[in-house]
Amino acid sequence: MTKEPRANITDRRYRVYTYQDVDRVPDVEFGYWPQTVRRWLKEGLSIELSPEEINSMFSAKVNRHFGFDGEGCGINLRVGMYPPFEEEVIERKEHSVIMRDAGGCLAESYPHDEEESSIPHFIDFPVKTPGDWATMKERYRNDGAYREIPSDHQAAVIAAAQRGTSVSAFSVGMYGQLRQWMGFENLSYAFYECPDMIHDMVDHWSRHITLQIERLDPEVPIDEFSWWEDMAGKNGPFVGPDMFREFLQPGYHRVMETARKRGCVLGCVDSDGDPHDIARNWLEEGVNIILPFERAAGCDPLAWRREFGKALRIQGGIDKRLLVECGGALDRELDRLKPLLEEGGVIPHLDHLVPPDVSYTNFQRYLQKKRKLIGRDA
């Protein structure tokens, strides 16, 4: 049964995506590469940032500096690994460190004060065989004090919802969690070589999430369920629609059905690249917002709206590469989005983290142009 959106919610994001009246779309951005923030600090970004804050791609302090909108409240479902692996340094190099992290993955990364710091280079993963999976499974039991969601947290969420604040829950997605356990290459082979294990992984992960939802106070709503996947590249998704339907979609179905019982009408998936071929799979399960909608991967907001209609909501969709010049090409990019903003269901921002070839001045110019587009006074 399809739920009606809550009419008392005042958050712009929720109202834009449920096609309710709103004064303007939210002013938000996706995030920043650490190298970008280091450059901006040299070019006039005047805030104090610790090394950890600089290396946070989604820095709340940087967002506050630019005055971005902040809305909603979230539920901590406590679905993470427990106990985690003991972190262990395997080798120290001149400019990098090879270590096993709390998730059991072996990776090479750069210290926080290095200009090269970026995404770690993964070397090995904890699950390769069904035997490894049986051991890993024990770290995702749903009993014990660690899984208890504090009552005061739930009470605060209920109070916020009563005041008209939207409530969201979040989880790593079906593909994303399996990739964290196995790595891209191992997982790709396992779909063919160990299909029973893959089915069991998705079954266990989705049940793990739904059990956490079901143990919430009955008065806790869920207006939106968000997923992290990153399961596509420039040439398309890492699994096709048929494989998605067979292996991954049952897990999405279970979780989204459980969330719908608490009023959920929005599902958001964060996937890089071009996930076009599996968009309908997500839509079938109520996952109806896609971000960051990468123009750099060939995703065209206008073409997708023509194809999928207003059932698909879009977040992102502005080509970050155009900020290097921040001239007429960016103006034309923003102008193209005007019809979609009039239709609703679209929140524009850059199509991924701001890259380090974008100057602080050009980012500020971009914000002025985007804010004019969305009707926000600078």
Assign 377 a pLDDT band (cuts: 50, 70, 90). confident
Phi, psi dihedral angles at 168 (to 5 degrees): -125, 155
Rounded (10°) angle between helices 184-193 and 195-214? 110
pLDDT at 119: 73
pLDDT at 94: 84
pLDDT at 3: 75
pLDDT digits (tens, 9 = 90+) for 288-339: 999 999 999 999 999 999 999 999 999 999 999 999 999 999 999 999 999 9
Residue 75, pLDDT above cutoff 90: yes
pLDDT digits (tens, 9 = 90+) for 163-172: 999 999 999 9
Residue 113, pLDDT above cutoff 90: no
pTM exceeds 0.75, yes or no: yes
pLDDT digits (tens, 9 = 90+) for 247-287: 999 999 999 999 999 999 999 999 999 999 999 999 999 99
Over range 231-241, report the average pLDDT: 97
Assign 214 a pLDDT band (cuts: 50, 70, 90). very high
Assign 108 a pLDDT band (cuts: 50, 70, 90). very high
Q: Going by DSSP bridges, is the β-strand pair 106-109/97-100 parallel, antiparallel, or unpaired? A: antiparallel
Domains of the chain: 12-84+126-374 (3.20.20.210), 86-125 (no CATH)
User: Which residues neighbour 347 within 8 Å (Cβ) at sequence distance 6 or greater?
Assistant: 13, 16, 17, 25, 26, 28, 314, 315, 316
Nearest to 61 by CA among 39, 45, 76: 45
If one compares 111 and 317, the residue with the highest pLDDT of the two is 317
